Amino acid sequence: MHATWPEELTEVFDNSVTVEYTSLTRKGAPICVPTTPYIGRDYSTLDVSTGLTYPAKAERARRNPKVCLLYADPIGSGLDSPPVIMVQGIAAVRDSDLQANTDRYVSLTLSKLPEAYRGKPRVALRLMPWYFARIWIEITPVKIYWWNGRSLVSQPQVYEVGDDIVLPVSDPAPQGHTPPPWIDPPASWESSADLVVKDMEGCLCDLSVIGADGFPACLPVERVERNPEGFTLVVGSGAGELLSSGDGPACLTFHAHPGKFTSQQNRTFVGRLADRLTSRSMPESLVVDSSAQAPSEGTSIDVLGHATTGSADVSAETLLQRSLHPTPISGRVPAPSPASAPVHSSLPDGAGGADASSGTSSGIRDSEVMVLSFQVDRALGDWSLAGNQLSMSVDFLRKGLKLRPRLRTELARRGQPVPKVRIRI
């Protein structure tokens, strides 16, 4: 079957273990959640799923089908330096046949993430319809952007589908009300941010905003620092067009997982993209130092796992300089205290401006970056499984105790029986 996107992107769609899926709330704010991606059965859609017992990701897409997928996490994919791909598309929610949905999910997830289930008794997995019963979200791409890497130092290539595309329609919504969130949010966003710094060294960070066309846009963040109101972010200039709408609701997501997907940590913050602090060009030779050595004693670390030095009171100018020197690290080092950043930078003006034509390279220099201010309103509850095998098993069972009572309710809303978990491999 011929794919409905450039063939060169299929390898990333097929092999990625994690994708950032962004949907919109009733008020039009983006919510970004890391999840596992799959290619649709006829190669016309890119699909993600959510548990029947926690259907919020699907219900948001049923209300507003404009969604976004960001393929920017190569960990576990087996791919060497794959492109970063952002897909904006129209979602169709599928929950009219939960047995077929469950069969598909069991088959695909055990094949794609075998390490996550290795050693688990099959009889125990068959007793977990509260987890394996699935709603599928099938996304038809309408516009695709891709860059050479997460730094977004160049303008993207862009692919748009033709006007003759047939957009899908979701299955009818079930009766009754969507259940409330099942995971309690943290007591404060600051405590959740502290956990990012403490426990998620080397994590990836992605920013979701709303574009001028009403579609969410999700973009990788190159650098990030805490400040008293939220986070100061560095994003490559290649995202400029997608951030042109300025201030507005936004979502910042941190996630980490090993190459063999046996655990995961996620933290999500919602708030506003309040300011573009600066956008400046720096010398080409300073863009990336991929051969940098491990940090010396006394080096501090920001939340993306990049080594930094000096005072923890970070200005926008200092952060901009740091963004051009990402340093790999091999061990845990002390985390910085919350940093503050002034609104303006004294860096000299950069050169060039964006050329809006056809997604090709423009006058913006490849070394230009943007420093943004993200103000946090609150942190969301997260689905994380981390620690040793015993602690993760106990945590998973605790989650099951919360979700089992919701299974019958959601099945009754749809008038369907409990789906069987049929494991064939």
**Average pLDDT of every residue of the chain:** 80
Kindly state the tokens that stand for 220.
Answer: 């990788």
Q: Find the mean pLDDT for residues 3-28.
A: 95
* Mean pLDDT, rounded, for 17-44: 96
Q: Flag the least confident range among 17-26, 241-250, 375-384.
A: 241-250
How much is the pLDDT for 276?
66
Phi/psi at 362 (5° precision): -120, -165
* C-beta of residue 210 within 8 angstroms of C-beta of residue 248: yes
Residue among 134, 353, 383 at smallest CA distance from 257: 383
The conformation of residue 382, written as its DSSP 8-state character, comes to: -
**Which SS3 state, helix, strand or coil, does residue 207 take?**
strand
As a whole number, mean pLDDT of residues 211-231 equals 93
- Kindly report which listed range (136-140, 214-218, 354-358, 409-413) carries the lowest average pLDDT score: 354-358
Instruction: Give the pLDDT confidence score for residue 325 in this predicted structure.
Output: 36
Place of tokens 């002390």: 334
Q: Is the pLDDT reported for residue 379 higher than 90?
A: yes
Residue for token pair 């394996």: 132
Spatial CA neighbour of 29 closest among 276, 240, 214, 231: 214
pLDDT in tens, 223-236: 999 999 999 999 99
Q: Of 317 and 207, which is predicted with more confidence?
A: 207
**In the predicted structure, residue 263 carries a pLDDT above the cut 90:** no
What per-residue confidence (pLDDT) applies to 320? 45
Q: What is the pLDDT of residue 362?
A: 29
Q: Report the pLDDT value the prediction gives residue 86, as an integer from 0 to 100.
A: 98
Q: How confident is the model at residue 62 (pLDDT cuts 50, 70, 90)?
A: very high
**CATH number attached to the domain at 7-379:** 2.30.110.10
For 326-348, write each residue's pLDDT tens digit: 322 222 222 333 332 322 222 22
Closest to 36 in 3D by CA, of 125, 134, 154, 159: 134
Residue 106 dihedral angles phi and psi, to the nearest 5°: -60, -45
Residues 182-203: tens digit of each pLDDT? 888 999 999 999 888 888 878 9
* pLDDT band with cut points at 50, 70 and 90 for residue 275: low
Q: pLDDT: is 297 or 66 the higher one?
A: 66
Q: What is the pLDDT of residue 277?
A: 61
pLDDT of residue 414: 97
Contact 160, 142 (CB under 8 A): yes
Consecutive H or E run containing 410: helix 389-414
Q: pLDDT band at residue 280, thresholds of 50, 70 and 90?
A: low
Q: Nearest 5 degrees, angle CA 284-CA 322-CA 188? A: 140
pLDDT value of position 279: 55
Would you state the pLDDT for residue 171? 98
- pLDDT at 129 (0 to 100): 96
Count how many Cα atoms sit within 13 Å of the Cα of residue 128 in the half-sphere of its side chain. Answer: 18
pLDDT surpasses 70 at 75: yes
Segment 353-371 shows an average pLDDT of 44
Residue whose token pair is 């091999």:
330
Window from 53-62, 109-118, 314-323 with minimum mean pLDDT = 314-323
Give pTM, 2 decimals.
Answer: 0.81
Domain spans of the chain, in order of start: 7-379
DSSP 241-291: GGGTT-SEEEEEEEEE--SS-S-BEEEEEEEEEEEEEEEE---GGGS--TT
pLDDT at 208: 97
**Percentage of the chain lying above the pLDDT 90 cut:** 55
Contact between 113 and 91 under an 8 Å Cβ cutoff? The reply is: no
pLDDT at 56 over 90: yes
Lowest mean pLDDT among 8-22, 99-113, 313-327, 380-394: 313-327
Identify whether the C-beta of residue 37 lies closer than 8 Å to the C-beta of residue 47.
Answer: yes
